[in-house]
Structure 1
């Protein structure tokens, strides 16, 4: 089912319904500021299990944690270096994944199978997701929509492949195929693990 939300002021009533279903174990597909992503409540065992099955990936494969702001993200990671914190504050929300050391509050439902005690955190520049995260009680566990060795960026194709298997697909149109830039902030410095969208904003690294 494709859901149409206002691109500037997403309807709170619909977002409230989505939030409730996520808490019950639902899975949705949302457009981000990069590609489309499958999302589940990070504290929902049922939702996270569905996410792994939909993506057909091993439970050892890392997922991302979507947060609405730095304050929320800080609840799940060890203290950042001053350099990393200043950078995160400057470029978020945006198309960046920050690999950080996780703390004891990391949602074990979502990340108990990961060998490394690191986590990829995103604060996406997406009005749909940011509006949802304002009302939803937990961060979202996320993974990009990928089918038959390619990213799916057309909402109609996503509907064909996933429409009957997810609780809803938020229409963001056809997105550009741009992946997030991945930044490793686990040490004192910052290193680029993958160059992607937004590189011009961190050209001084």
Structure 2
């Protein structure tokens, strides 16, 4: 059931469902999330069941503000406070030490928890309404509202295509960012970038005033985090990343047979494929449309998607990460 998320009545109805232990899909500025009361381990279990997601793969908890984050975090180190001030609300998730009594299921059983304050007005209104429930819902566990490992949804229609009609979906329009948040681990003494997003590494470093480490530079494995499995974000069709010149050569060799292949490329290619989409030269715009394009190709029934590899530039890190994981399936 899709409701207009701009209407107060829709927000109130969704908050009541969540307070009763149910699931609600809601928009954020990144992608649509499948939400449940993060403080109710039974409700959170419903997310894992609906998505077919392993229960030890942690979820991100959405909160209304930094004060609400402290209801789940045992401590908020200074570096995390600086990042909250710079980027919340916005597309940044912080991994923090978890209060032992809160959010065990959402954390996948770990002693750390991922927290984010979304910037989307519908998500914010929903969080505020949940906080007014009796008892209050302090945060929403909210992974992407799709089957586990598949392409994330950026519209309410995408969500409805993944689940049965019984799921309440708040429609907030197409998401403006289009890929999931960056994730920074602040639980180990120095900030570690676990997943890139539209925020660049240099932007995050400038805000936190410290070097941002990468997982491979750390002496231990660190906490598990959402969306960091090798294979993820995958459409039904097989994705192959290619250099633009190699792609043109392959299209020329295939001739008429190339019509069955979907192509998403920045280069102006000669192809007979009716499934050819130009990738924007801008990384932010590509992120905004990436998942919608992959879903569009799936809807067209193609079996193979050729994607021109993104440029080796920091602003493309988030798009490159999603495409590499989609191609790994």
Normalising by the smaller structure, the TM-score range is: 0.7 to 0.9
Sort the Cα spacing of 1:165 and 1:48 in 2 relative to 1 into closer, same or farther, 3 A: farther
Aligned equivalent of 1:157:
158
SS in 1 for 2:34: strand
| Range that drifts further, 95-104 or 189-198 | 189-198
Alignment correspondent of 2:2: 2
Structure exhibiting the larger radius of gyration computed from Cα positions: 2
Residues in 2 aligned to 1:42 and 1:73: alpha-carbon distance in whole angstroms: 12
Counterparts of 1:107 and 1:150 in 2: how far apart (Å)? 26
Q: Deviations over 1:111-145 (max 9, x none)?
A: 4x52x311110111111111111121221111112
Match of 2:96 in 1: 100
Whether 1:16 and 2:12 are equivalent positions in the alignment is yes
Contact 1:91–1:201 (CA under 8 A) maintained in structure 2: no
SS at match of 1:37: strand
Which structure has the higher relative contact order (CA within 8 Å, separation 6+)? 1
Report what 1:65 is aligned to. 61
| CA deviation profile, 1:136-195 (whole Å, cap 9, x unmatched) | 1221111112336322223223212214241x1111333353121001101232121111
Taking structure 2 as the reference length, the TM-score comes to 0.56
Aligned position for 1:83: 79
TM-score of the aligned structures, taking structure 1 as reference length: 0.86
Of 68-77 and 173-182, deviating more is: 173-182
C-alpha deviations, 1:6-44, integer Å up to 9, x for none?
Answer: 2xxxx3333222111111121111111101110011233
RMSD: 2.0
Cα gap change, 1:109 to 1:152, in 2 (>3 Å):
closer
Change (3 A) 1:81 1:203: closer
- Counterpart in the other structure of 2:204: 202
When residues 13 and 150 of structure 1 are mapped into structure 2, their CA distance, relative to the original with a 3 A threshold, is: closer
**In 2 relative to 1, CA 87–152 (structure 1 residues): closer, same or farther, beyond 3 Å?**
closer
Residues 31-180 of structure 1: pairs in structure 2 closer than 5 A: 31-108=27-104, 110-111=106-107, 113-114=108-109, 116-136=110-130, 137-138=136-137, 139-147=139-147, 149-166=150-167, 168-175=168-175, 176-180=177-181
Q: Mark the CA change 1:75 to 1:188 in structure 2 (over 3 Å): closer, same or farther.
A: same
User: As a proportion of its length, which structure holds more strand?
Assistant: 1
CA distance in 2, matches of 1:143, 1:201: 24
Please say which of residues 36-45 and 151-160 is displaced more in the overlay: 151-160
Query: Any gaps of 5 or more consecutive residues in structure 2?
Result: 131-135, 212-329
User: What are the ranges of 5 or more consecutive residues in structure 1 without an aligned counterpart?
Assistant: none
